[in-house]
Each structure stands twice: as C-alpha cells, then as structure tokens.
Amino acid sequence: MNNTIKSSALIFILFLAIALKPIDPPKKSEEIDQRVKDLLAKMTLEEKVGQMTQVTLQVVSKVQGTRNQMHQLDDAKLEEAIKKYHVGSILNVYDVAHSIEYWHEIINKIQNIATKETRLGIPVLYGIDAIHGTTYTKGGTLFPQAISMAATWNSDLEKEAGKITAYETRASGIPWNFYPVMDIGRQPLWPRLWETFGEDVYLASQMGNAYIEGAQGNDLSQPDKIATCLKHYVGYSFPINGLDRTPAWISERMLREYFLPTFEAGIKAGSPTIMVNSAEVDGIPGHANYHLLTEILRNELNFKGLVVSDWEDIKRLYTRDKVATSPKEAVKIAVMAGIDMSMVPTDFSFYDYLLELANEGAVPMWRIDEAVGRILKVKMQLGLFENPFPNIELAKHFACKEFTDANLEAARESIVLTKNENNILPLSKNLKVLVTGPTANMLSVLNGGWTITWQGNEETLYPQEKNTLLEAIQNKIGKDNVTYIEGTSFDKDINTKLAVAETKNADAVILCLGEPTYCETPGNIFDLTLNKAQLDLANKIVETGKPVILVMLEGRPRLITEIEPKMNAIVLGFLPGMEGGNAIADVLFGDYNPNGKLPITYPRYPNGITLYDYKPMEDFDGNGYNPLWQFGYGLSYTKFSYSNLKLSSDEIDPSDELTVTVDVKNDGKISGKEVVQLYLTDLYGSVSRPNKQLKGFQKVLLNPGETKTVSFKLNKDHFSFIGQDNKRIVEPGEFKLAVQNLTQTFRLK
C-alpha cells in the first residue's frame, strides 16, 4: 500500500470512528427536565398528540412480511405517519424476525424522516417484545423463558441475560423492550404463566430487578443499553378462570400484598416505562382504572416514567368492555385514567379522537403536556436525540460465542430434577436409548412463544445448527446408540405401537412430553391435565418394563400425576431456550449436576391449586396441601446437609437488622450448586399469615466435602404485611425462620 492510500485509509478510519462514536447526551435529570420543558414549549397540539400515538410496523408497510415474503416498508405511509400524524412510537414486526441488516434499514429510514424531515426533529421510540432475548432479529441469543430463568434461582444469570438482550436489541437499532413481566404467576392455567418469574413475590422481584439492572446499567444512553418496560400493570396474571384477558377479583389488600410489590421493586430499580393490564380487576378494566394508574402508581409508588397501553386496549374499553359509549370516550377515559401512550396500534384513530377531545377541552392541556413530557424524557434518557441511528459497531458481537455460552449456562441451571429413583440418573454414555414423544425433536418446544414469530411455532424458521433434545442426545452418546420414534403428536397417536416395539433394543427410554408453543389467548386451555395421547404413550412404554426417564417441556405445569409414580426419573425442562436441548442432555448423561428449583408449585390435581405460601386454613380440618412437588423443590446428583442455623439475636427492635447464618455442606462425591432458601413465618398476626414466605435465597457452589456459611440480613420490610386497613404494617410478636429442616424463632419488639 503506498503512503497516500495508507493515509487516506487512516483518515477514513478516523472519520468512521468519529462518525460512530456516540455523542454524549445530557445525563442529569434536571438538565433533561429543562430540555423537555423547552421542547414542549415549541410543540403544537398536533405534535403532542402524535407523540402519544404508537402504531405497529404494519401500518407503515407495503408488504407485511411473512415466512414466504420479505417485509417492505411503504415510504409514503411512513412519511404520513411521521409527518402528518407525528407518531411518537412504532412497534413490533408483522410476524417474522428480520436480519440485523434489515432492522438497520428500517430504523434508519424511520429516524431519517423523524429527525431530519420534521420541524422539531424528534426521534421515534421503537419498541419490541425481546422477551427471552432478541426475539425478532434473526440469530439472536434466545435464553430460557422467564419461568425457566426463575428456576435457576440465580439473579446473576438473569442480569447477564438482561445485558446480552439489551446489547443485541440495541445492536438491531431498537432501544425499548416490552419486558420484564412483573406479573406473578399464581394461576397455573393462564397461558402466560411462563412469561412470569413464578408464584413468589420475592423471587420474582429479585429476578425482575436483576434483568433491569443488566439491561439498563446505570445510564440508559449508553450505546448497548435499552429501556425496559414493566408489564402488565396490574393483576393481569390472576384470571379467575385461567383464560387470558379475563377478569381477576383481587381485593385491594391482596393486590398490595401480592401483585403490587413486584412492580414497586421494578420502579425502584429504575424501569422508565410500564405497560397496562389488558384485562380487568374487580370489574374495572386496567385501561380505565384511575385508582391504579394514577392514585397508586403515581401518587404512592412515585412512578415518574411513561405508561403505555397494551395492544388495542383503549379501543376495547368501547368494543369489548362497554365502559365507554364510543371509541372517542374510550380515549378520554384512558388518557384521564393515566395512560400516556396508546398502542393503538393499527390506525390513527387515537390521534384524531384525542385531538378533538383536546380542542373541545374534554382532555385538558396539562394532562397532554404531562404525558408528552414523560415520553420525551424517555427518548432523552436513551440519548435518542443525539444517537437515533443503529450503531453498526454493535453488530460485531451479535450472537457471539460468549453470549451462547452464557445462554447454555442459564439453560443448565434452569433444569429441575424432581425424581431420581435409585439414582438411575445420570445415565451411562454406553447405553442404548429409545427417545420418543412429541417434544423430542423440535426447537420450538424448547423456546415457547415469542421466538422468531409471535406464537413461536414456525419450526422451519428455527436455526438448523441448534440442537433439539434428540440431536443433543445423539451428539452425547453417538447416533448409533439412539433410536427415535415419535410415538405421538401432542394430542394424537402417531406410532405408539412402533415406539413400544422399539423398546426391546433399548436399555432405557427417554420419554419427551409436554406442550406445543403458544402465546397469549391462543394458548388458552380448559384442563391442566396432559393430553391423553401422551399419557397413553407413557403408560404403554412403562408396561414394557424398561426404565423410563420423563422429560417435560412446557410453559405451565401440565398434570402428570397419573404417570409420575411409574417413571424412574423426571426432569422438568419448562422452556429452557435455544441451548435447552444441550443442557438437558448434559444433565441426563452426567456432564452437568442439576441445581434448578421450582419457581412454582407443581399441582397434583386439576383443582388442587394451593400455592406454597398458603394460609393455615388451607391445610386444616380436612383441607390439605398436597402438591405433586413444592415450590423450591429440586434434586441434585450430590447431597447437601444443613447445620448451625443462627440468628444474631432472639429479640430485635423493628429498626434493627437481623443476621441469619447457616452452614451448608456438600456430603456427596461430586461438586454441585445448592440454592439456600430462607423462609419466614409470622406466627400470629391481625391478618391471617401465610404458612411461610420466601425472604432470601443464595446459590452456592460446593465441592465434595466443602462447607460454606451463608448469611442473610433481614429488616422490618421483610417482617411487614398489609394490615386490615390496607396499609403496610409491622406487628410485634413471634416469628419463625426456616432453612431446610432447621428452624429458629425470634421476637420482634
């Protein structure tokens, strides 16, 4: 290379470096507030109402984009949305993941128009459901779903998942993620159970917060960070009949005890946006609930960020719920209840109605300024005014090996072993196995909904280089040692007879059952019991007398009570993500010692839904708490023993901190991780107190023979509860603390 070329290359690289280096936006809250104020002062009513309008990508597309047809933006529609309607936000894809390059094209086009061709140059806030990784960018690192991440009981892993998802989502040019789900999963039939971190307030808060920390860091404007969105505020996860988007009846006391604290935690962790409950609580639709959206969320929980509606839910106040007598009244009710942005999302009707309402004085200007101010603030916090375009530098590490390794680690820690008769697991790698069942050879069943498509069920679009469970088993012990017969589909016999016949050549059977993928309402079912065809397959295989290892892949605890006693071992995979096949094979053949614990109660009977923190009367006078497996349960290939549970004092003042220590020892022959779980029981209270409540957990790695002392700190927050007057209180009295089989009591003065 001659010197002139060399120096011009250098200049070019320097130029590129300057061009790519993100410009530092103002960071101080007061500076941002002032900028928001200044900008608001320049905006017309139309521009403000536009900011509050969010449309889906479909609205600005020529070709929607399906598995067979490439998506195409419609330039004229895009210009109309941004220049005529001044939309503040666009969301989603039609239904298929795009390549990272194509995302760059889309976002560049949108931001070019928004920032260069409009009067004030306000960037668009693009939002997406990157719920277990960057769902809608091809090749994204797809982690275990929330229910499985919760089964790791390892918030460091969740933080890492947040970090990586933020990196890959922002690398795609998208700065806003509709995640984490802070609803707690206390209704196992609900088809979105797997999107939650399980049934417990404390565990879900810890996992959600870890995600927020990882995804946002301490500065949203960093090039690899995204804004998170807590959803779906509040009570959505507890429909009485278990169907999606149906009523919950939750008294204010129980709402404050069980459903608000996870959101409160997420707000404290700094999430700047919240999405609203699509259904209703106590007869009031989420989108019309002034008490929840303003009195509690703003005035009590002190949430300062932006509240976005869920999909079409403002319209539904009229079309479905009939609390509004017209679509226009629906807009008024929702905005006045406290919603700042409408996920309209398929037209501009919200814009038209809100403009009319504002001009008529039916929605006051202060409310519009308040909402728009919150939206602009998030855009400024994200540094979008300075850096609205995708940072192509980030594409470099998209789905890199380190990310896949972190994903595999998360998947391994998420696997829950619930039965291991006579230590049949781990299996020797010299065995011949028969693999059968509908979840054995599909990637979709490892991932669940919101994977590449909304329903996650387009198996042919999955990355072929990833391993199904069958492929992972074949890699582990050699193809020649594995026979695969499908047996059944999810609900129909295919060749059960052949599977039974093939057992004769096998030393053991790996029976892979569970659920197909689903998401939201299409996932509704009316019976938790596993499909008959799958239970029949299990029963027939058992009759052969061969040892059977059951692997369940599922988004909710499908009942297997009928076959459970007949299985020699049971591995619950839930939805362990794209590396899940490898992770389960590692567990089955002893390359990984399982340490996942249940984040939910696994029911024994369809109507026996009693959760771990049940009230004393639920296990009294003939009532019985008798799940198949308890919350927190999970086996290991080694044995742990506990001793020396000690409290720093047996009597404390409410202002004191109580230190709890316990020794845990690995008594077995291999190293393993154990989740040390601390439970509190308030022995007497003016409101009946739960049997026990999780108040702390730590995952520790122990080598054979090793002992570690684990310590927890508790304060009055841990001892508090919602009293008869719906206020959080702390009552003096006796408490019991338990770690495994050890207990200690103390007195609160």
Tell the smallest beta-carbon distance from residue 210 to ligand BGC (Å).
20
In angstroms, rounded to a whole number, what is the distance separating the alpha carbons of residues 437 and 472? 15
Quote the tokens at residue 5: 């070329």
Residue 287 in the binding site for ligand BGC (CB under 6 A): no
Q: Is 661 helix (H, G, I), strand (E, B) or coil?
A: strand
Q: Does residue number 129 form part of the binding site for ligand BGC (CB under 6 A)?
A: yes
Question: Comparing C-alpha atoms, which of 735, 714, 711, 708 is closest to residue 642?
Answer: 708
Question: Which of 455/582 has CB closer to ligand BGC?
Answer: 455
DSSP state, residue 123: P
With contact defined as beta carbons under 8 Å apart, do 210 and 162 qualify? yes
Q: Is 245 exposed, middle or buried (0-12, 13-18, 19+ CB in 10 A)?
A: buried
Report yes or no: 552 and 584 within 8 Å, Cβ to Cβ.
Answer: no
CA distance 721 to 712: 20
Minimum distance of ligand BGC from residue 278's CB (angstroms): 5
CB of 236 to ligand BGC, least distance (A): 8
Q: At 27, is the secondary structure helix, strand, or coil?
A: coil
Distance CA 90, CA 100 (A): 17
Choose between 257 and 310: whose C-beta lies nearer to ligand BGC: 310
The verdict on whether 310 is a catalytic residue reads: yes
- With CB under 6 A as the contact rule, the residue among 165, 237, 278, 455 that binds ligand BGC is 278
Size of site (CB under 6 A) for ligand BGC: 8
> Is the torsion defined by CA of 469, 471, 475, 478 positive or negative?
positive
**520 in contact with ligand BGC (CB under 6 A):** yes
Question: Closer to ligand BGC at the Cβ: 523 or 581?
Answer: 523
Of 457, 453, 437, 566, nearest to 512 by C-alpha is 437
We find the least distance from the C-beta atom of residue 150 to ligand BGC, in angstroms, to be 18
Beta bridge partners of 141: none
Rounded least distance, CB 607 to ligand BGC, Å: 27
* The two three-digit tokens of residue 409, written as one number: 């680690």
Question: Shortest Cβ distance from residue 343 to ligand BGC (Å)?
Answer: 7
d(CA 133, CA 579): 12
From residue 684 to residue 723, the character string flagging contacts with ligand BGC as x (rule: CB under 6 A) and all else as - is ----------------------------------------
Do 739 and 676 touch, CB atoms closer than 8 A?
A: yes
For ligand BGC, the closer of residues 224 and 244 by Cβ is 244
- Please say whether the dihedral angle defined by the alpha carbons of residues 626, 632, 634 and 636, taken in this order, is positive or negative: negative
> In 648-691, where do the E strands start and end?
651-652, 658-666, 672-682
Question: Could you say which of 194, 233, 311, 398 contacts ligand BGC (CB under 6 A)?
Answer: 311
| Residue with nearest beta carbon to ligand BGC | 178
In this structure, are residues 528 and 188 in contact, taking their beta carbons and an 8 Å threshold? yes
Q: What share of the chain is helix, strand, coil (3-state, %, to 5)?
A: 35, 20, 40
Q: Which two tokens stand for residue 170?
A: 């922002």
Nearer to ligand BGC, 334 or 611 (CB): 334
CA dihedral (133, 136, 137, 140) positive or negative: positive
Question: Least distance in Å: CB of 311 to ligand BGC?
Answer: 4
177 vs 418, beta carbon nearer ligand BGC: 177
User: Both tokens of residue 729?
Assistant: 């209180």
Minimum distance from residue 312 beta carbon to ligand BGC (Å)? 8
Shortest separation between residue 230's beta carbon and ligand BGC, angstroms: 11
Which residue in 139, 130, 49 sits closest to 91, CA to CA?
Answer: 130
CA distance 359 to 170: 38
Burial 290-318 (b: 16+ CB within 10 A, else e): eebbbebbeeebebebbbbbbbbbbbbbb
Place of tokens 């708490």: 625
Q: Return the number of the residue (276 or 357) whose C-beta is nearest ligand BGC.
A: 276
Tokens of 242: 């278990």
State both tokens at 550: 């059951």
Residue 632, token pair as written in the block:
């927190």
Among 53, 89, 92, 418, interactor with ligand BGC by CB under 6 A: 92
In a 13 Å sphere around the CA of 88, the CA atoms on its Cβ side amount to 30
Q: Which residues 399-418 are close enough to bind ligand BGC by CB under 6 A?
A: none
DSSP 133: B
- Closest to 199 measured CA to CA, from 207, 188, 191, 208: 188
Q: Which is nearer to ligand BGC, 59 or 500 (CB)?
A: 59
User: 621 — phi, psi (to 5°)?
Assistant: 55, 50
Nearest approach, Cβ of residue 231 and ligand BGC (Å): 6
Nearer to ligand BGC, 311 or 403 (CB): 311
Binding mask 588-617 toward ligand BGC (x if CB under 6 A, else -) reads: ------------------------------
DSSP sequence for 421-441: GGG-PSPPTT--EEEESTTTT
Q: Which C-beta is closer to ligand BGC: that of 92 or that of 451?
A: 92
In 3D space, the residue among 565, 627, 629 whose CA is nearest the CA of residue 596 turns out to be 629
183 lines the binding site for ligand BGC (CB under 6 A): no
The least CB distance from residue 88 to ligand BGC, in Å, is: 16
Cα–Cα separations (whole angstroms), residue 318 to 246, 247, 315, 326, 669 = 16, 16, 6, 6, 64
Nearer to ligand BGC, 137 or 278 (CB): 278
Task: Using the minimum distance from each CB to ligand BGC, give the nearer residue, 521 or 623.
Answer: 521
Cα distances (angstroms) measured from residue 372 to each of 37, 327, 366, 376, 427 = 10, 21, 10, 6, 60
Which is nearer to ligand BGC, 92 or 414 (by Cβ)?
Answer: 92
Q: Is 178 in the site for ligand BGC (CB under 6 A)?
A: yes
Residues in 217-256 that interact with ligand BGC by CB under 6 A: 231
- Least distance to ligand BGC from the beta carbon of 47, Å? 25
C-beta of residue 378 within 8 angstroms of C-beta of residue 273 = yes
Whether the CB-CB separation of 313 and 287 falls below 8 Å is answered with yes
Catalytic residue among 224, 244, 310, 313: 310
Separation between Cα atoms, residue 44 and residue 303, nearest integer Å: 27
Least gap, CB of 273 to ligand BGC (angstroms): 11
Active site residues: 310
For ligand BGC, the binding residues (CB under 6 A) are: 92, 129, 178, 231, 278, 310-311, 520
